Amino acid sequence: MDDCIFCKIIKGEIPSERLYEDEKMIVIRDISPKAKVHILMIPKEHYADITCLDEKRAADLAECLLKLNGLQERLGISKGFRLVVNRGASAGQTVFHLHIHILSGSKMPGF
């Protein structure tokens, strides 16, 4: 998508601190961290949010999530992390390209 900030980051048109990349996803540091460690897992395929999953996208996303296990040390989240997915502006979504927030490094308040 031409006007999508995450597509531009994926293409390298906007700089980011890229912590990991493979054919399915990038993992970058969030520009405005809400925790000591705040990173974003961003599938390379553009779709707006978690309600746009189909079988293929769900399988790709599962692959991305499975890789988290092996990336914990590299990402600095091995002591624990919280995953957050915002869906819709009312839930706080501001970038309409699916992404998973990975929060770590400080004690999280309970729900």
At its nearest, how many Å lie between Zn ion and the CB of residue 16? 13
Q: Which positions ≥6 away from 24 have C-beta within 8 Å?
A: 43, 44, 60, 63, 64
At its nearest, how many Å lie between Zn ion and the CB of residue 52? 11
Contact residues for ligand AMP, defined by CB under 6 A: 5, 14, 16, 28, 30-32, 86, 92-95
Question: Which is it for strands 18-21 and 25-29: parallel, antiparallel or unpaired?
Answer: antiparallel
At its nearest, how many Å lie between Zn ion and the CB of residue 3? 9
Helix (H) or strand (E) holding 7: helix 5-11
Of 38, 46, 97, 99, the catalytic one is 99
Q: Is 38 a catalytic residue?
A: no
Residues acting as catalytic residues: 99
